[in-house]
Amino acid sequence: MTTDFGRVGVLYGGQSAEREVSLMSGNGVHDALRSVGVDAHLFDTGEKSLADLLNAGFDRVFIALHGRYGEDGTIQGALELMGLPYTGSGPMASTLAMDKIMTKRVWLQHGLPTPGFVVLTGESDLHKVEALGWPAMIKPPHEGSTLGITRVEDTAGLKDAYALAAGFDEQVLAEQFIRGRELTVPILGKGASARALPVVEIIAPGGNYDYEHKYLSDETQYVCPAELDTVLTERLYRLAEQAYCSLGCEGWGRADFMLDEDGEPWLLEMNTSPGMTSHSLVPMSARASGMSYAQLCVEILSTASCKVRGAVRA
Domain hosting residue 40, numbered range: 2-87
Residues 280, 293 within the same domain: yes
CATH number at residue 138: 3.30.1490.20
Instruction: Spot the catalytic one: 246, 256, 285, 293.
Output: 256
* 98: Cβ contacts below 8 Å, ≥ 6 apart: 68, 71, 72, 73, 142, 272
64 and 194 inside one domain: no
35 is catalytic: no
pLDDT attached to residue 310 = 58
pLDDT lower than 70: segments of the chain: 1-3, 144-145, 206-218, 310-314
Which member of 16, 246, 271, 280 is catalytic? 271
Q: What is the pLDDT of residues 44-90, one digit of tens each?
A: 999 999 999 999 999 999 999 999 899 999 999 999 999 999 999 99
Are 129 and 218 part of one and the same domain?
A: no
Q: With beta carbons less than 8 A apart as the criterion, state whether 276 and 268 touch.
A: no
- Specify the number of domains making up the chain: 3
Known catalytic membership, residue 275: yes
86 is catalytic: no
Q: Are residues 67 and 203 in the same domain?
A: no
- Residue 46 · residue 13 · CB < 8 Å: yes
pLDDT for position 3: 63
The active-site residue, picked from 70, 72, 254, 285, is: 254
d(CA 237, CA 61): 28
Q: How far is CA 195 from CA 19, 111, 217, 239, 268, in A?
A: 29, 20, 30, 11, 19
CATH number at residue 101: 3.30.470.20
pLDDT of residue 219: 77
150 shares its domain with 169: yes
Whether 109 and 254 map to the same domain: the answer is yes
184 and 205, same domain (yes or no): yes
